[in-house]
């Protein structure tokens, strides 16, 4: 009898994991469709809708006019009347063009109709700097959305979560924004075939430790892991938590970690001032104040627009070295 051939792990880049997630949703839900700018013929500005037009046809993969307000209104109306749309918002920066549809319709309609109207609309969008796209195409604005009751917001940090959260979002009967990161698109990892969910509102402990807890959002998880490796060389044992969702936020997992490590550092790519890190810090203070042995610290971008200059952009973006320095400051090393 011949020995069974051991299969190599199935590895996909982040961008193709998104494609698979959308594909699984379209196969599973006959009343789902994709609508957005350049999603059909071009496959999306970053290519994560590639091949969907050929496989599902123009009745389910729509190129829309260049009108974010119209696209988001389409998503609200279609979801309220029985469809499960996947709306592509090319860049997160463009939510300003359609904020009335998001804040005053999408977020509130189910509540205002006493639950009589469901809005199972999924919005996929791109955030983050690092690609020299300047101030109007490089922002991380998850805190804007997280402030709106009625909307769920998740920020997958890797390919596995990008696929699983896309599917989970599309199965949810509430509006969900899945915020991808541009600089993560080429990052690859093992991703299973077929449909699976990554639960919304559940954080993941990416690395266990005892000296300090780092809570990171989106691509900053990778910077935090790199920082943890560097700190380990100095004998420091740091825990890294991937927030994954900012609304709902998994306070329980973070608080459990703080009770063990007694110190917290929050890291996000968004501007530090007014960023979601302030909300995380407040929740830690409310739920775990007696366990803290040091002030809660934050690492975020400076309070200025994202520079166009590649050299300045790299200085602007938080990185592992900045995290290492802040950890040592917190530990008074």
**Cα dist from 312 to 128, 134, 153, whole Å:** 15, 11, 29
Q: Give 23-41 as a DSSP string.
A: HHHHHH-TTEEEEETTSSS
Catalytic residue among 20, 101, 137, 223: 137
Tell how strand 122-127 and strand 84-89 pair up.
Answer: parallel
Asked if 37 is an active-site residue, the reply is no
CB 127 within 8 A of CB 73: no
Provide the 8-state DSSP code for 106: I
Choosing from 20, 24, 37, 68, the catalytic residue is: 68
Task: Tell me 51's DSSP state.
Answer: T
User: Within 10 Å of residue 174's Cβ, how many Cβ atoms?
Assistant: 18
Judging by beta carbons within 10 Å of its beta carbon (0-12, 13-18, 19+), is residue 282 exposed, middle or buried?
A: exposed
Of 255, 331, 247, which Cα lies nearest the Cα of 295?
331
The question of whether 252 is a catalytic residue gets the answer no
Mind giving me the DSSP string for 239-304?
EEEE--EEES--HHHHHHHHHHH--EEEEEEEESTTSHHHHHHHHHHHHHGGG-SS--EEEEE-SS
What six digits make up the tokens of 173?
């009967």
Catalytic residues: 68, 137
């Amino acid at each position: 009898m011949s020995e069974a051939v051991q299969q190599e792990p199935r590895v996909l880049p982040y961008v193709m994991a998104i494609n698979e997630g959308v594909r699984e949703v379209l196969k599973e839900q006959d009343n789902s469709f994709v609508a957005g700018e350049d999603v059909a013929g071009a496959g999306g500005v970053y290519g994560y809708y590639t091949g969907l037009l050929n496989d599902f046809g123009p009745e389910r993969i729509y190129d829309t006019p260049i009108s974010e307000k119209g696209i988001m209104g389409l998503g609200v109306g279609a979801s309220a009347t029985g469809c499960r749309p996947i709306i592509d918002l090319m860049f997160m920066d463009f939510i300003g063009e359609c904020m009335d549809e998001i804040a005053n319709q999408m977020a509130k309609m189910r509540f205002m109709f006493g639950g009589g109207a469901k809005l199972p609309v999924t919005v996929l969008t791109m955030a983050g700097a690092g690609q020299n796209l300047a101030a109007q195409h490089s922002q991380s604005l998850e805190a804007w959305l997280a402030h709106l009751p009625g909307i769920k917001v998740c920020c997958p940090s890797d390919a596995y979560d990008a696929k699983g959260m896309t599917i989970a979002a599309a199965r949810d009967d509430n509006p969900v924004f899945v915020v991808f990161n541009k600089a993560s698109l080429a990052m690859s990892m093992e991703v299973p075939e077929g449909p699976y969910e990554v639960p919304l509102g559940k954080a993941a402990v990416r690395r266990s430790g005892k000296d300090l807890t780092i809570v990171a959002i989106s691509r900053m998880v990778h910077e935090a892991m790199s920082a943890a490796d560097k700190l380990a060389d100095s004998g420091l044992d740091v825990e890294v938590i991937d927030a994954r969702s900012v609304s709902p936020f998994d306070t329980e997992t973070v608080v459990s970690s703080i009770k063990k490590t007694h110190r917290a550092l929050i890291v996000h790519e968004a501007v530090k001032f007014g960023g979601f890190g302030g909300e995380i810090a407040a929740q830690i203070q409310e739920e775990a104040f007696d366990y803290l042995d040091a002030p809660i610290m934050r690492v975020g971008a400076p309070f200025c627009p994202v520079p166009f200059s590649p050299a300045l952009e790299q200085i602007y973006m938080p990185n592992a070295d900045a995290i290492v320095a802040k950890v040592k400051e917190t530990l008074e090393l």
